[in-house]
Amino acid sequence: MILNQAGTRRFRAYTSKHLDELLLRAGLSEEERLKVRAVATVLPFRTNAYVVDELIDWSAAPEDPIYRLVFPQADMLPAADVSRLADLLKAEAPAAELNAEANKVRAQLNPHPAGQMELNVPRIGREPVPGMQHKYPETVLFFPKQGQTCHAYCTYCFRWAQFVGDADLKFASDDIDQLVAYLRQHPEVTSVLLTGGDPMIMGEPVLKRYVEPLLEIEQLESIRIGTKSLAYWPQRFTTDPDADDTLRLFEQVVAAGKNLAFMAHFSHPRELEPPLVESAVERILATGATIRTQAPLIRSINDRPEVWSTMWRTQLRMGMIPYYMFVERDTGPQDYFAVPLADAYEVFRDAYASISGLCRTVRGPSMSATPGKVCVDGVTEIAGQKVFVLHLIQARDPSLVGRPFFAQYDPKAVWLTDLRPAFADTFPFETVMADARLSA
């Protein structure tokens, strides 16, 4: 392993060209490896030496949860699609032919769910603003161009379309001036979320170019950074050459009177075990930033209550704030990873029941759907009818936030669109969104 001058390991990425070699460590046969490589022509693969050497238990692969978190599975896509792609790989088909076939499969995977391309893109005048999303009045998402990759990719990532090399599917911008102009025209925006990809893939000089202009915007109360770097490359905050400069930038944000919220993505307790993670967390918190934790509930990786209660208790002990349990979104290999909403509620409830009140800052299970963040509050019986009880934690229309509503119980439902209203002809958000379209 290459060492830098401080004697610490440099970042080393593994991509699809390394996949077959790495799969040998999991004991997969040649045919199994070919199918995995076929899946990787459709969905992106990237990991790194830290994940491979420190987090994966290779003696338990391919069932190990961290292995499943980053390595494609042969049955993540329909068997006919995998077989067709595997045949092309075996025949050493031209790259253009292989990519054309992969694109056909991608087109069936709902690459931009929840109105990201149609409803969330803001405008200055009539012109759409690239690299931004504005779904909720008070929050703008910004996708810095240099931050649209990650230290490693999660197999269930709902933003997989950012990483497949198709410009038509990608959100990205390097125009911070345009973001600043938009914010000044929208005084209702009090929070900016830098997202991706992973903004922490950027070095401090680049990150600073995006962050510093935001400090001059008086209306902004918080700057958020969506990242999985604490799990996949904690060295970013400890031994990387610009680690200290990055932490000084965090201090600068706090000194400017802004809340700096680190939205940390942890999918499994093992990601919290290395001492390096605790050191990185301590250094971030020492800057005055807060760290809030979130992840989706994923079948075969973290679909047991004890996994979540262990994560939340560990995060609390380390000074982080448990924030969200999400439902796997309606994109990519959703059918493979999704947990039915009824089961998701049971996992959340059982985990929630076994933690202290200080951990109960967490919310979920929550669906980031077209109308907003829909939380499954429970299953009950009303007037002889079994129903889901739900509410919107966040919504395009703030008038909907916090209003309970009901859906007919369906043990197989995995997403909002699988549900049907109970005690009404429509869900509350359907009426509001229909009225908004008529007035537009």
- Residues 73/36, Cβ–Cβ less than 8 Å: yes
- Among 296-305, 330-339, 368-377, 405-414, name the one with the lowest average pLDDT: 330-339
Cα–Cα distances in Å, from 68 out to 46, 293, 343, 365, 433? 13, 20, 21, 22, 38
Per-residue pLDDT, 127: 82
Whether the pLDDT of residue 312 is over 70: the answer is: yes
**Cross-strand pairs, 378:** 389
Mean pLDDT (the chain) is 92
| 0.95 surpassed by pTM | no
pLDDT tens readout for residues 235-265: 999 999 999 999 999 999 999 999 999 999 9
SS3 content of the chain, % helix, strand, coil (to 5): 40, 20, 40
The region, left, alpha or beta by phi > 0 then psi within -120 to 50, assigned to residue 127 is beta
Per-residue pLDDT, 378: 97
Whether the pLDDT of residue 158 is over 80: the answer is: no
Mean per-residue pLDDT for 371-395? 97
pLDDT tens readout for residues 103-121: 899 888 877 665 556 678 8
Per-residue pLDDT, 5: 36
Per-residue pLDDT, 165: 65
Confidence of residue 330 (pLDDT cuts 50, 70, 90): confident
Q: What is the C-alpha to C-alpha distance for residues 284 and 200, in angstroms, rounded to an integer? A: 13
3 state SS of 158: coil
